[in-house]
Structure 1
Amino acid sequence: MVAGAYNIPKGTSCFRGRGDDAHFICEERHTIGVADGVGGWGIMDIDPGEYARQLMANSLEAILMEPEGKVDLERVLNQAYSKTKVKGASTACILTLIDNCLHVANLGDSGFLLIRKEEIYKSEIQEHYFNRPFQLGQFSDTPDLAEIFPVDVKAGDMLIVGTDGLFDNMFERQIRDIARLGAEVGLYPEQVAWAIAEHAYHNSMKKKVYTPFMKAAKNSGRVFSGGKPDDITVMVAYIVDA
């Protein structure tokens, strides 16, 4: 797994200069992860991104303590959750590659696409209701609600991992087309991540563009037009022969 990432934070306030998202890349263990802090905590003068940053840092620490050649994501997520003591809440999506199998732990509305030629597999969103995703936190959901599952992969596959700032503003086929073009012309994963994130950002700022968030709002009986401004984190990973 050869991975790179790009982040575009929303806003420039004292909290949001770094944004609410967090991520990590652990090349040693072929593991990547992303988290999206819940912005509502900012109303209480609490940095919404701090929980996400600590959760990802604690996840990475737990991963490095796992036995060689094995990463138990259920154990990792539980350990990271138990060690994250700051106020706040966050989604989480962690993926690890072991042999030819991708192991996933996902909670909330961050997630991933697996792209194989024309095919696209997308992880499912977990939410209590529209725009209220599952989220880890002391006063929120717990790791036992995370979906833990394997996905078979092979050389040539691409992974696009992101927060809802990506998936609310770009449809799967749009992400696939940019990712495939980038790979075909030999771009590095972080360059492809940048291209996708920039496209999502431009969509998020438009009022006259049809977006997944607009579609989901309509399906839930709400009126919303255009893109949804948000923190955007995109991670791209190429699955290659060892």
Structure 2
Amino acid sequence: MTRSQDLVWNGIRREKLKLKCGSFYIAKDRASKPQGDDSHFICVGGWSKHGVDAGLYAAELINNSLLATLTQPLTQVDPMKVLDEAFSKTKAQGSSTACIITLQEGNMLHAVNVGDSRFMVIRRVEIIYKSPIQLHSFNFPYQLGNSANCAKPRQAQVIKVRVEAGDVIIAGTDGLFDNLFELQILATASKGIEQDLGAEEMVWEMAQLAYQPSRDKAAVTPFMEASKRAGRFRDGGKGDDITVIVSRILGA
């Protein structure tokens, strides 16, 4: 079957879909430019602070994840196999959250998630799915790593979501979701859908929107509200690295 053909199951014709992605990363002191890509694979990793450059672990894990996808058929990439292989080959010190999402045949997203990186699927003006997060306690997410007390791939959540052309996937680290409420993310994505913006344009707006409250000690944010529920009472946004990937589901 070629990429231009439709898929047919039980007499129902299903359109072959693809992802158009835009990514943006804002460090605490600088930002990277948005980049676009046609892909069937999304990977988000978090950063931790344990006295070592945890970014080395996250970068190595994600690079190994990309290499692991190259050994599998494009529309049949198994995110759990990717995570297992990447984890086994990552030797750097540190730890990282991880969220790996693939678009497979049958118009299904297959994903694995460890920690508080996450994603949501938006269809027009509605959030039709949001992935759960894994926390030991407030601001203490599960993280992959080589130390004994770190999570292992077998603890990852396995997720499947059916999608259709026009859907938008918002994936990101806690720097996004701790600083923006779901309704803010939905409103920004819905506006982009209505205006038919590209993924690169949408991701720029989403990342900048999250960056503003992250620097504001008076902002009302999900992080502030979660801290109060945990008895910590931390005001304002969460100053953190912000990684955002926006993907639009398109007909092939």
Contact residue 37 and residue 50 of structure 1 kept, 8 A: no
Give 1:118's match in structure 2, choosing from 114, 125, 128: 125
Shift in Å at residue 70 of structure 1? 1.1
Shift in Å at residue 229 of structure 1? 0.5
Cα shift readout 1:45-74 (whole Å, capped 9, x = no counterpart): x22211111100000000111135311111
Cα shift readout 1:95-144 (whole Å, capped 9, x = no counterpart): 00013100011000000111012321211110111111000000111000
**Runs of 4+ in structure 1 displaced over 6 angstroms?**
none
TM-score by length of 2: 0.86
- 5+ residue gaps, structure 2, are 1-18
Match of 1:98 in 2: 104
In the TM superposition, what are the counterparts of 1:1-242 in structure 2 within 5 Å?
A: 1-11=19-29, 27=38, 30-38=40-48, 40-41=49-50, 43=51, 46-99=52-105, 100-120=107-127, 121-139=129-147, 140-242=150-252
Partner Cα distance (1:109, 1:126) in 2: 6
Shift in Å at residue 179 of structure 1? 1.4
Contact residue 36 and residue 199 of structure 2 kept, 8 A: no
Contact residue 20 and residue 37 of structure 2 kept, 8 A: no
Contact residue 107 and residue 134 of structure 1 kept, 8 A: yes
Matched residue SS, 1:201: helix
TM-score by length of 1: 0.89
The one-letter code sitting in structure 1 at the alignment partner of 2:131 is: S
Partner Cα distance (2:36, 2:153) in 1: 21
Superposed CA RMSD: 1.7
Contact residue 22 and residue 37 of structure 2 kept, 8 A: no
Aligned positions, number: 228
Shift in Å at residue 224 of structure 1? 0.9
- 5+ residue gaps, structure 1, are 19-23
Shift in Å at residue 208 of structure 1? 1.6
Percent identity reads 47
Matched residue SS, 2:99: strand
Contact residue 26 and residue 32 of structure 1 kept, 8 A: no
Partner Cα distance (1:37, 1:145) in 2: 19
Shift in Å at residue 190 of structure 1? 1.5
